[in-house]
Amino acid sequence: MEYFIQQLINGVTLGSIYGLIAIGYTMVYGIIGMINFAHGDIFMVSAFVSLIAFTALGLLGVTFVPLVLVIVLIVAMLITSVYGWTVERLAYRPLRGSFRLAPLISAIGMSIFLQNFVQISQGARVKPLQPVVEGGFTFVKTDGFSVTLSYMQIFIVLITVVLMAAFATMISKTSLGRAQRACEQDRTMASLLGINVDQTISLTFVMGAALAAVAGFLFLIYYGVIDFYIGFLAGIKAFTAAVLGGIGSLPGAMLGGLLIGLIETFWSAYFTIEYKDVAAFAILVLVLIFRPTGLLGKPEIEKV
């Protein structure tokens, strides 16, 4: 039982990171109906930006951990948001009126560019980071096994819950949220009603990139190692989480992220670790067969 509880804690922590990335996918899809396949590499860029910020603060002699975490998180969100805005301006806006496959190909090209840019500028080797937040609580000790809840895991879950609540409130209560929902329903009519569609779409990309920045920051300080390829793997799993929960649904993206994290963690704990990704994608296939809209997604109704 103690082993199960420990894996549950680990799965929720990993799923929270996947959920933050998945929200970026589902926000972009909800407003323009397309998948941003460069989003996983935006997450990867944010992890490297966070590592550089940690290194710079260390060289400057800033050692107060709470202050360091806040500064690094803000820097990562600001710089990564610029990358998200650039992806929208270069890969999506010029092709918005083209056939649907063109922006997809453009986004894949942007993903390859970001991977190679980071590989050339930062090197292909794994980049380590010394533990920043240490310690935690030990709940159960039986037969030499203890259930541990680290401060880092609490930090990740709390940030995820706060951001999820903030974005849900923003979408439902603010003028920007109303503009996003209007663009999701009909961009032409939203434009006729005075909504700046281009600005709304750009801000959506920026917000998605900011969430990916938080996820990259958390991934770095939780695992302590990154490389230029982490964006591809995390992006594919986060995209799977978004589809599993219901693409276009913010709660669905978070639910899908948690489920993917739990499936991956429990499969690694109780079965062979080599097939943990196969298990996650098999669950996705089953959900798409029996509920094509995802767990919380709603079927699209075409009005004529």
Dump pLDDT digits (tens) for 177-194: 888 888 888 888 888 888
How confident is the model at residue 299, as a pLDDT? 62
Residue among 232, 249, 240 nearest 288 (CA) = 240
Using one digit for the tens of pLDDT, what is the confidence trace for 212-266? 999 999 999 999 999 998 988 888 888 888 888 887 788 888 899 999 999 989 9
Which pLDDT band, with edges at 50, 70 and 90, does 76 fall under?
very high
Residue % of the chain over a pLDDT of 70: 96
Average of pLDDT values for 156-160? Answer: 91
Which pLDDT band, with edges at 50, 70 and 90, does 143 fall under?
low
pLDDT at residue 304 tops 60: no
How confident is the model at residue 78, as a pLDDT? 95
Using one digit for the tens of pLDDT, what is the confidence trace for 77-126? 999 999 999 988 888 888 877 777 888 888 889 999 999 999 999 988 99
H helix runs in 142-249, sequence order: 151-173, 175-185, 187-192, 197-223, 230-245
Contact 107, 91 (CB under 8 A): yes
- Judge if pTM exceeds 0.85: yes
Which pLDDT band, with edges at 50, 70 and 90, does 158 fall under?
very high
How confident is the model at residue 214, as a pLDDT? 93
Distance in angstroms between the alpha carbons of the first and the last residue of the chain: 55
Contact 111, 38 (CB under 8 A): yes
**Domains identified in the chain and CATH numbers:** 2-290 (1.10.3470)
Say which DSSP state 277 is in.
H
Using one digit for the tens of pLDDT, what is the confidence trace for 85-99? 998 888 888 887 777
How confident is the model at residue 50, as a pLDDT? 94
Contact 274, 232 (CB under 8 A): no
Cβ burial of 27 (10 Å; 0-12, 13-18, 19+) is buried
In the chain, the amino acid numbered 251 is P
pLDDT at residue 303 tops 70: no
Residue 246 has φ and ψ, to the nearest 5°, of: 120, 100
Residue 107 has φ and ψ, to the nearest 5°, of: -65, -40
Residue % of the chain over a pLDDT of 90: 33
